[in-house]
Chains A and B, each alone.
Chain A
């Protein structure tokens, strides 16, 4: 096998993996603060993709400019979702730190959203149009790099850096970190737990929106598009350590690499089995993942 092809696969794997990492980033943030797993995260990504798709289809905006509309819309969506659906569970089960009921309610949200999309938009696979990025490639020597995926990588890095800056330097970011460490102590310091939960959930959903904008130029939109990303995000966050931001990105890149290099050595469907196998190995031998805190499992 040619080394140059391997190199190309490695680069592709890193680029695609960083987009997986971006999806998982929203999930891991929500887990870090609320200690719940949002099973509807993939559906939020799907909603974001439809929003981006329709904005571009109606206004003819450049897909990346749509970001400035999609992210606030998704933030609002997530904020309200937390306020009206998940908060009541926390109120009802005050003494439980990580209520399992949330998994079930968010699964319900997943079913409703996916099938609502099916009902409204039909099962068609929609490709973005107008799509100025379609099939765009950058050539470096013999290596071909997909431009939208490269932009995806850059946007992922910027988003992660922005999130870091926000969490470390702003007042709200500090309040979020305090709540994630100890919500009772944070409440005693005058931080409104509910507001923080809403904001964190909103940001997590907005990140799903950013990922949606990144994906729309390279990926078809259809009602169940979120499901493979949902399951993949679970694998990624557990691999990287639930609640860890670098863990999510690194986990994403690992999965991306397995998927892009794997098919050189085996049938591509087997790579999927390897991903799950790796996931189970991590769960058995290091359940806290690569960067997770032991306390959280």
Chain B
């Protein structure tokens, strides 16, 4: 068995398991936890396009989640336009906003960019909370928007609403696989190399003729577009959005945390991070919050500090090493036998 085929088999097994899980796992609660896990893995992967490859720290990605969620919901509620179309419109809008905010801020040093994106989220949240009607669009201020559910037991692909959890599971799974594939292709493209070069050594990259700022803006626009798609998904999952649910610093921070604990700039990092953190937050929120309020956030903070101090590149690095060792052992015994 060659290393390539070992990797391919592993990946195929992983995908097959993910596809088959709803057949084994019948409980909607667990399916819901898995759906949220994939959703966070998806959003973190798109965050990673800027935060990982471009070497900056965006702390405002919830703006794009919010734009996605609000755009598709407003279009559906006011004009009956299918959320699938709204999803794309929201993505384009988010990309446009990302261009406006990214063009001037991505030229700045790390800390400034982090602060600018943070202030942007807070500013947008304050505005949305204070506006009931933005031009022709009804935003409902702090009360948010309710998507009226279809009659019980009914589902409709066009309305992006389903009676069971399974369709949501497969939609987000395919979205996640799609975005991971895209990131993988991107990391091997000219843009990907330019980005990581610009992230590591901006001066050297500029000297070699890479337009670092332009590459970063491109990555930011792409990332915003993809993040907004998750916003629409979230809106259709929960059928209720309000500024404090989709436009918060907490969500922005959580994405950054997952990426950094998993490993920023690595393909598996966001997934590893989501796998590690989501269950910790979900279960400690369920079991500890009654007796020990805030315990899950203390745990989160401690994990974050410990990982940053001992594995600044995230958990994907030691795990990759482990995987490589396993691969070497299995592959070398096989090839050894053939010699």
Contact = CB atoms under 8 A, between A and B. Distances in A.
Contacts of A109: 301, 305
A59 interface: no
A98 B110 contact: yes
Contacts of B300: 108, 111
B126 A273 contact: yes
Nearest to A106: B305
Q: How large is the interface on A (under 10, 10 to 19, 20 to 34, 35 or more residues)?
A: 35 or more
B121 to A, nearest CB: 9
A101 B309 CA distance: 9
Nearest to A289: B112
Interface in A109-131: 109-112, 114-116, 118-119, 122-123
Contacts of B297: 111-112, 114-115
Interface hub of A101, A104, A270 (most chain B Cβ within 10 A): A104
Contacts of B10: none
Given A103-B111, A105-B304, A283 B116 contact: yes
B256 to A, nearest CB: 7
A37 B305 contact: no
Interface stretch (B70-78, B101-109, B173-181): B101-109
Given A235-B119, A273-B126, A273-B127, A115 B112 contact: no
Nearest to B308: A105
A102 to B, nearest CB: 9
B123 interface: yes
Given A118-B294, A280-B120, A107 B304 contact: yes
Interface string B4-36: 000000000000000000000000000000000
B244 to A, nearest CB: 14
A168 B305 CA distance: 35
A273 B123 contact: yes
Interface in A169-215: none
Nearest to B298: A115
B129 interface: yes
Interface of B: 56-57, 104-105, 108-112, 114-116, 118-120, 122-123, 126-127, 129-130, 253, 256-257, 260, 292-295, 297-298, 300-302, 304-305, 308-309, 312
Closest 10 CB pairs of A and B: A276-B123, A115-B294, A111-B301, A112-B301, A108-B304, A118-B294, A108-B305, A108-B301, A115-B297, A273-B126
Given A89-B309, A108-B308, 9 more contacts: A31-B111, A100-B111, A104-B57, A104-B260, A111-B301, A114-B297, A118-B293, A269-B129, A287-B108
Interface of A: 31, 35-37, 85, 88-89, 92-93, 98, 100-101, 103-105, 107-112, 114-116, 118-119, 122-123, 223, 231, 234-235, 238, 242, 267, 269-270, 272-273, 276-277, 279-280, 283-284, 287, 296-297
30 contacts: A35-B111, A85-B305, A85-B309, A89-B312, A98-B109, A100-B110, A100-B111, A101-B308, A101-B312, A104-B256, A107-B253, A107-B257, A108-B305, A111-B301, A112-B297, A119-B293, A119-B294, A122-B293, A223-B294, A234-B115, A234-B119, A238-B115, A269-B126, A272-B126, A277-B123, A279-B119, A280-B123, A283-B115, A287-B112, A297-B109
